[in-house]
Structure 1
């Protein structure tokens, strides 16, 4: 999968989680962000990148 796509979707999911008006929506968007972060890490590993992504808190 395209790394730029994953990075974009990850960022959008984080922004949607932050602006969510319900706990359920916030939880769903954070779950998507976690899934994208896992996929990003897999692609980075496959490409030989070192170091870790810094997660949003």
Structure 2
């Protein structure tokens, strides 16, 4: 497993999530970033890296329900 590739893919997914126009797209990219973060944590733990727990902690979706609710409210107001 190439950790550098996982780091790159994780960062790209986070950037795509941040730039997504819809909540569904944001969830998709954030979910992908979360899965990648989990894989990074597993790989680091296997290598004995103390940073593994930090990556495992990041293995969570980014957008909250409140964010999606605000987006839906803004869409209905226009």
What TM-score, normalized to structure 2?
A: 0.66
Task: Note if 1:23 corresponds to 2:23.
Answer: yes
Bigger relative contact order, structure 1 or 2 (CA pairs below 8 A, ≥6 apart)? 1
- Structure 1 gaps, min length 5: none
Q: Distance in 2 between matches of 1:5 and 1:42?
A: 15
Moved over 2 A (4+): 51-55
Task: Note if 1:5 corresponds to 2:5.
Answer: yes
The Cα shift of 1:15 comes to: 0.1
What TM-score, normalized to structure 1?
A: 0.89
Q: Which has the higher helix share?
A: 2
Quote the residue 1:41 is aligned against: 41
- Structure 2 gaps, min length 5: 63-78
